[in-house]
Structure 1
Amino acid sequence: MNSPFHIEEIYSDDGSNALRMPRRQVGNSPQGFAMTLLADYTLRTRAALPSAAIVALLTESGVTTAGARTAISRLARRGVLEGSRHGRRSSYRLSRAAAANLSSGGNWILTSTTTAAPWDGCWTIVAFSLPQDHSTQRRALRGQLRWLGYAPLYDGLWVSPYELTPRARAQLEQLTLGTVTVFRGRQNALGSTSDRAPIEAWDIDAITRQYAAFLDRWTSLLPLVSAGQVDGAAAVRARTEVMDTFRRFPTLDPQLPVELLPAGWLRQPARDLFAAVYDGLAHPAEQHVRAVVGRFTDSTPLGVRAHTTADLIAGVRGAAGTTSAASAPPAEWETPDSAVDCDEVTVGPRPS
């Protein structure tokens, strides 16, 4: 499912953290599949799985053996996976940092696709100016803004209907080093054809097509899931793919106010369908993963446990001892305090 945005803007990878999560690709990538697979069945426990079992599960999803091994190796180099060896057998598990990141991300995916909070009619505007030779910094800033729920109304001017939180402000300050200004206020419409509404920063038609494609792809599978006719490798593959696809929506449609959207917006139907497929396949998929892992171990794989969307919303607790609810989500916004008039313009770090 192709995205209406450049992939670098959807998935920020500025290299500022020790943990380097793989940059998401359009379509299914071996690293993305491997990370989703381990998160779906070991996030609670951070259980180590034999590398041969991970390769076997990935090949069932259409990844080549060489591609699966390369993905595991690269995830280990990125700090996403931790390796261990027992005799001639190697195993891998999610690192503590990756588990915390994925737990937070899973919570964000679900909470960000619920009905948007009441909107006060105000917009947050982020204006920035960077020299032409600062392309890396510009790309990192655009990626961070996209993660924070912003979209470009004009070059160098991004907007969001929600207040910039203190944590988000701190993230932007680290990236921009005095090259950004933040305002909040209402649009003063010109009432002419030259007037451009802030909501036009998002390609609403393109997002609608994304939702429609998702619904078209997965609706036909739902009766089979409900009837228990999807199991084994097919259940694991479908569950991995539906998560890998659905998690793009919180960035494409970051809780945009329903007042600004066409009637019959497909956010909720897509979320409901995702939950029905993902949760409906949890048990058969877990059973298959256990069976595959069991072929490569001498004991019963007790650490394989699928979670549901309800678990992700509540916070999946792993061996790292943290919950997703306690971690800051990758994208963060909030409705402003009702005591603050949004017509009072607030200015953030000023360009130097």
Structure 2
Amino acid sequence: MTSPYDIDEIFPDDAAGAVRLPRRQAGNSPQDLTVTLLADYTLRTRAELPSAAIVALLAEAGVSAAGARTAISRLARRGVLQVRRQGRRSAYRLTPEAADFLAVGGSWIASAATGAEPWDEHWTLIAFSLPQTQRAQRQELRNRLRWLGYAPLYDGLWISPHDLPEEARGQFALIAPGAITVFRARHVELGTGPHRNPVQAWDIAAIAREYENFLERWRDVPARIAAEQPAGAEAVRFRTEVMDTYRRLPVLDPRLPLHLLPAGWPRQPARDLFVAVYDGLAVTAQEHVRAVAADVTGGPVTGIRAHTVDELSAGLPSGPAEPAARRTGARRAARPGDAKGRSSRTG
């Protein structure tokens, strides 16, 4: 397995190329922070945030004004954000496609470690063969497999203890038609000789270290929340950072059956700590985002609402429904001058 944070994309490309979420970088990139910020406070309503408010909130996280504006512009070009202009002012919100993707992905992330799941001891195996000339399709397929919690047991053979979701089957058929075969089977031991166990597709020790780093980073924050700290800008920064960090853990540790893992596996403690921080700061952070938005507009901005982990797990509606023609127009607008929808994706 590669180093956990060398995964090319935590969020893969949209199959149609309409939504291209940012490439994972070391630390928290301005685009990562912008997406998390918009999702944390507007995903339920798809409310707009004034661009000046986004810049101000990112500045509190250490992002320069120029860096913030560049991040917003790139996300708009990628079809993640859509803009509404009024004179010299502009406001941004998540596109319908990005909101849908983040709502589904957020539900999957938030529901991780919510209980011991029964396992029928069958593995899903996905075998594929794509020529070197189809490098983009190979990379996109691998990115999506990573996102779904699969890992490579051998080159071209990826596995998971869970069944392949119905929606993913259609996506894979579009990415690599005729090049993928899916099996559901038990592992057969080969006796006392050396063999490769399916769980070895994941670097268990490396995943455990990521859990330990997360627990170490955040273990003292619940006590600060109980003492009514942090407040304001720090509450928003902490809440954004804890989500941006935690959302990678379920990708690295995709609900592997506990009896296959070392005793005392830290999946549940990590989730409990994430909930304590993310939910504990929700009201304070929400009020600060509202205050910043109101300050730059001269009045209240409607629709800014923080959600809890349980609400995210249950499946947030990704904003009010839009007419089909408008949604289609947003898809077309997401790809200006890019017929193939494949631009360079640097953060």
Q: Give the TM-score normalised by structure 1.
A: 0.86
For residue 127 of structure 1, what is the aligned residue in structure 2?
Answer: 127
CA contact (8 A) 2:151 2:202 kept: yes
1:52/1:3 CA distance change after superposition, 3 Å: farther
Q: Does residue 80 of structure 1 match 2:80?
A: yes
CA contact (8 A) 1:115 1:255 kept: no
For residue 346 of structure 1, what is the aligned residue in structure 2?
Answer: none
Q: Any idea what the Cα deviations from partners look like across 1:115-170, whole Å, max 9, x if unmatched?
A: 34211111111122222332222111211211222111111111111222332222
Q: Any idea what the Cα deviations from partners look like across 1:40-68, whole Å, max 9, x if unmatched?
A: 11122222221111100001001111110
Q: Does residue 91 of structure 1 match 2:99?
A: no
Q: Any idea what the Cα deviations from partners look like across 1:92-119, whole Å, max 9, x if unmatched?
A: 1222222222222221111133234211
C-alpha displacement at 1:202, in angstroms? Answer: 0.5
CA contact (8 A) 2:22 2:32 kept: yes
For residue 254 of structure 1, what is the aligned residue in structure 2?
Answer: 254
For residue 187 of structure 2, what is the aligned residue in structure 1?
Answer: 187
CA contact (8 A) 2:126 2:159 kept: yes
For residue 163 of structure 2, what is the aligned residue in structure 1?
Answer: 163
1:180/1:45 CA distance change after superposition, 3 Å: closer
Counterpart AA for 2:153: L
Secondary structure of the equivalent of 1:11? coil
CA contact (8 A) 1:222 1:277 kept: yes
Q: Kindly report which structure 2 residues correspond to 1:128-147, keeping only aligned pairs within 5 A, or say none.
A: 128-147=128-147
Distance 1:234 1:248 in 2: 22
Secondary structure of the equivalent of 2:183? strand
For residue 215 of structure 2, what is the aligned residue in structure 1?
Answer: 215
Q: Indicate the larger mover: 12-21 or 77-86.
A: 12-21
For residue 17 of structure 2, what is the aligned residue in structure 1?
Answer: 17
Q: Which consecutive segments of 4 or more residues in structure 1 shift more than 6 A?
A: none
Q: Does residue 283 of structure 1 match 2:283?
A: yes
For residue 308 of structure 2, what is the aligned residue in structure 1?
Answer: 308
For residue 339 of structure 2, what is the aligned residue in structure 1?
Answer: none
CA contact (8 A) 1:83 1:93 kept: yes
Distance 1:87 1:9 in 2: 36
For residue 267 of structure 1, what is the aligned residue in structure 2?
Answer: 267
What is the root-mean-square deviation of aligned Cα atoms in Å? 1.9
Q: Kindly report which structure 2 residues correspond to 1:46-61, keeping only aligned pairs within 5 A, or say none.
A: 46-61=46-61
> Percentage identity across aligned positions?
60
C-alpha displacement at 1:195, in angstroms? Answer: 0.9
Q: Does residue 197 of structure 1 match 2:197?
A: yes
Secondary structure of the equivalent of 1:84? strand
For residue 26 of structure 1, what is the aligned residue in structure 2?
Answer: 26
Distance 1:263 1:130 in 2: 39
CA contact (8 A) 2:15 2:171 kept: no
Q: Does residue 104 of structure 1 match 2:107?
A: no
CA contact (8 A) 2:119 2:257 kept: yes
Distance 1:85 1:175 in 2: 36
Distance 1:264 1:318 in 2: 36
Distance 1:181 1:316 in 2: 33
Distance 2:3 2:277 in 1: 22
For residue 320 of structure 2, what is the aligned residue in structure 1?
Answer: 320
Q: Give the TM-score normalised by structure 2.
A: 0.87
Distance 1:267 1:135 in 2: 34
C-alpha displacement at 1:260, in angstroms? Answer: 0.5
Q: Indicate the larger mover: 164-173 or 114-123.
A: 164-173
For residue 237 of structure 1, what is the aligned residue in structure 2?
Answer: 237
Distance 1:282 1:230 in 2: 11
Distance 1:118 1:107 in 2: 20
Q: Any idea what the Cα deviations from partners look like across 1:173-217, whole Å, max 9, x if unmatched?
A: 222221222222111111234211100000000000000000000
Q: How many residues were matched structurally?
A: 321
